[in-house]
Amino acid sequence: MNWFGAAYYPEHWPRERWKEDVKMMREMGLNVIRIGEFSWSVVERRRDEIDFSTLDEVIDLLDSEGIKVIMGTPTCAPPPWLTKKYPEILQKDVNGLVIASGSRRHYCFNSKIYREETARIVEAFADHFGKDPRIVAWQIDNEYGCHNSTVCYCEDCAASFRYWLKKKYGSIENLNRAWGTVFWSQIFNEWEEIDPPRRTLTSPNPSLVLDYRRFSSDSAIDYHNLQREIIETKSEAPITHNLMVNFTEIDYKKLSDSIDFVSWDNYIVADYDPDLQALNHDLMRCLKKQPFLVMEQQPGRVNWRAINSSHNADQLAFWVKQSFAHGAFGSLIFRFRQLPFGAEQFHTGLLDYDGEPTERAKVFSRVIQELSNWDAVVPQREAAIYYDYENFWINETDNLNNRFDLLLDAILPVYRAIRNLGYNVDFVFPGDSLEGYSVAFVPSSLKLERCFVEELKRFRGKVFFTALTDQKDGHNFIKKSEDSFLEELIGIRVGDAGGIEETVKISFADRVFSCSFVAERILPADDCEILGVYLDGPYPGHPALVRSVNKYYLSSVPHTEFLESLLVEAGIRRRLDGFGRITRTESHTILLNSSSHKTRLEVDGIAYSLKEFEVRKI
């Protein structure tokens, strides 16, 4: 059964309204409701005075209408009585300033006191609801790392970081070598001399920064596992956590090992780009190689952007259907009813401020009927993009061009080019196999893991690398030529490189293309075929694009047009023409039109006309 529902907070509404709300949910076709994740001060108004009657009553009402529940643990918003009693649980920022309570996500993952309080309240939830068959899943906490809350610089984190380092390096001398602390007189004699990378006058040690990002990600996952271990001993319901759009502060691949299914919150973070949303869907599906849930689906306007634009209700229909076309098994709207108070007043919902159904409610109800019998989509393996969360952290420490965004400037254009030609995209991670794929991309992957290099050696499909790949090692050092995987894989060496202000021109296949951000002077081996050369920039006349057997290296950051041309010239047939997208499975093809006007698609030579925001199986 596919899951369709919404987030509902009964504590926001008069008790006498709950029955009507639940009746409206059933009439719309909702079958799952998420509750609880912001309820700590409701269920425990004062320390040790735990009262679940609000949640119990609404679960009874939901059950009376045949609606199941996803239960959230309430730890993302510790109540005021707790932060006042224990102010040391609050995070500190890079300047050493305390992050005040008064919103959410202000706690420290490494606070011993908060971990004790977390265990206490989560155990109470698990004891009370763990055996309840109406609870079909648990959501632990809410959006780890949201509002830049992944990294904390408090003394609890400092002590935990030193312990983490001792386990990793064993001795202080090993750490000094791994971090290059001889630079700027940073040699450590004792573990206690090491602090988090708080605000410094200029750049802190990049190796320390990378390890602190690893530690911070591990801290979030360890905190998650604290809750998971409590719940799984008391409940058989699956456990998840709601991941976020474009989010790279936490290693979601590692976190996915500690959840039973992936769920994520599908929000439009800037100008609407259907490919960016599709990229996130595909990423979420690939984390566990299984269908995922959209835990929060933006219904229309949100409250947290600089300009909170309105959206056509039919766009909601497309957003939900698009998620199913990329492997979702359900979608929950955030939120059920618009709230006239609090920090999310301008966020839309299925019901308006007066509790009346909106046009979005009617559209969502229609979509539920249309998707109720969809089986979870499993796209065929066609193209793969390499994805390693540590590369985002390396990219953010220092770079040739600090305006470069690894996700938006390197990975998204590759994704868009592949989708423009009509192919499915999967994301592969260190340790994954490339079996079944015909094309693999390694876009600006500053660090390559040896296990994936060995996989690339075995792979017989076409492989495309772009600039900055294999620049760094696991300590965030620039690699020496003798350690280069690029020489091993394709026979090139990067002799020099520099950031570029605007673009450089590259001649390829009798055309001229633009690239951005960096240019590299590559030194190819004699058996490399030179396919493109720089026409301007710092290295005019030098090779810019080379091939060795099945592997290509482009020594700048290409735009989508260049990538499309490169794929076609490499023998990848254009399968799709027109404005739109397709997803192919073993049994059918799904056509998607994300625009507000009719469009014409040609798939393998057959023409189709699609209405605005239409998603169709053929």
- Active-site residue among 37, 117, 249, 296? 296
Residue 205: in which H helix or E strand, if any? none
What residues contact residue 555 under an 8 Å CB cut-off, 6+ apart? 467, 494, 519, 520, 521, 522, 543, 544, 545
* CB-facing half-sphere around the CA of 92: CA atoms within 13 A: 18
Residue 296 annotated as catalytic: yes
Contact 196, 161 (CB under 8 A): yes
DSSP assigned state of 171: S
- Distance CA(414)–CA(441), nearest Å, equals 8
- Beta-bridge partners for 521: 496
- Distance CA(237)–CA(588), nearest Å, equals 33
SS3 string, 324-343, reads HHCCEEEEEECCCECCCCCC
Of the candidates 37, 40, 222, 43, the residue with the CA atom closest to the CA atom of residue 143? 37
Of the candidates 73, 75, 77, the residue with the CA atom closest to the CA atom of residue 130? 73
Residue 356 annotated as catalytic: no
Task: Write the CA distances from 230 to 51, 77, 410, integer angstroms.
Answer: 20, 19, 40
Pairing of strands 425-428, 551-554: unpaired
Contact 130, 103 (CB under 8 A): no
Residue 255: in which H helix or E strand, if any? helix 252-256
* CB-facing half-sphere around the CA of 600: CA atoms within 13 A: 3
Q: Which two tokens stand for residue 3?
A: 């899951």
Contact 413, 404 (CB under 8 A): no
Task: Write the CA distances from 495 to 66, 471, 487, 521, integer angstroms.
Answer: 66, 11, 12, 6
DSSP assigned state of 227: H
- Distance CA(377)–CA(584), nearest Å, equals 9
- Active-site residue among 117, 143, 564, 614? 143
Residue 238: in which H helix or E strand, if any? none
Of the candidates 580, 576, 607, 608, the residue with the CA atom closest to the CA atom of residue 595? 580
User: What's the angle, vertex CA 172, arms to CA 167 and CA 173, rounded to 5?
Assistant: 125
Residue 317: in which H helix or E strand, if any? helix 313-325
- Distance CA(580)–CA(459), nearest Å, equals 30
Find the Cα–Cα–Cα–Cα dihedral 538, 448, 408, 514, rounded to 10°.
30
- Distance CA(266)–CA(325), nearest Å, equals 14
Catalytic residues: 143, 296
